Amino acid sequence: MKIKFYKYQGAGNDFILVDNRQDVVNHHNPSLVSRLCDRRFGIGGDGMMFLQDVEGYDFEMVYYNSDGQPSSMCGNGGRCIVAFAKFLGVIDRETNFLAVDGPHYAKISEDGEWVSLQMIDVDTINRDGEAYVLNTGSPHYIELVHGLKDKDVYSDGHAIRNNGTYKAKGINVNFVEPLNEGYFVRTFERGVEDETFACGTGVTAVALAMAKHNHQTGKLNTPIKVLGGDLNIRFETDGTHYNHIFLEGPAKQVFEGEVEI
């Protein structure tokens, strides 16, 4: 059977998207998803998403990592599926949709290429030595470093993700360096098991962790540079609770095609 797919990218985080409102694809198939995400033998992508109908919301986002396993929340994936929903005519400029970590609200620009996605509230930021650990829909480890441009993110990230503390459940590892008014971030993602060009829940976690690190409160706006471009996180905090969190950035359709499954 052939299915139609669409390829989207958000700041270099790339995804395969399928309109599955008619339940045509049985996507509970890790070998199929991992094959399609393979960059040599498939379409290629950091993950794969299925847009589905669900009662009470505009749509449901079902996300799989490139290893074929169901994933926790993907922020850039969330922004891309909002752009996809607008392309399909499911939504116009605003949406409420359901993801694995619960409901999300989002707004999209008229041209459909800039998405502001509301993330879950955060009330807990822990420490692991000098690093910060928190969950923004996915678990993240945040470490401030120097010379990030030349850092071996794969080796260092792989070592942290697979250490005794995190190996069983995995964690996304973010290395951070101050840059102008914001930060430069590089991320090793679990499930992909490699560095990606961007990580939406990761840059969100970085913005919150750096606000705590710098004892900032109030309404904050944090620009972040990733390998794939520029993202922005805005939120409010009293120093303990973090809410009204929005991940903002580009979401663009790259190409479409058909594939045999």
Judge whether 199 counts as a catalytic residue. yes
Task: Provide the β-strand partners of residue 222.
Answer: 233
Judge whether 37 counts as a catalytic residue. no
Residue 12 CB-density burial (10 A; 0-12 exposed, 13-18 middle, 19+ buried): middle
Listed residue (254, 253, 236) closest to 245, CA to CA: 236
Which candidate in 51, 62, 73, 74 is catalytic?
74
Q: State phi, psi for 155 to the nearest 5 degrees.
A: -65, -45
Place of tokens 């904050």: 220
Task: Provide the β-strand partners of residue 235.
Answer: 220
Which candidate in 91, 98, 198, 199 is catalytic?
199
Helix/strand/coil percentages in the chain, nearest 5: 20, 45, 35
Catalytic residues: 74, 199
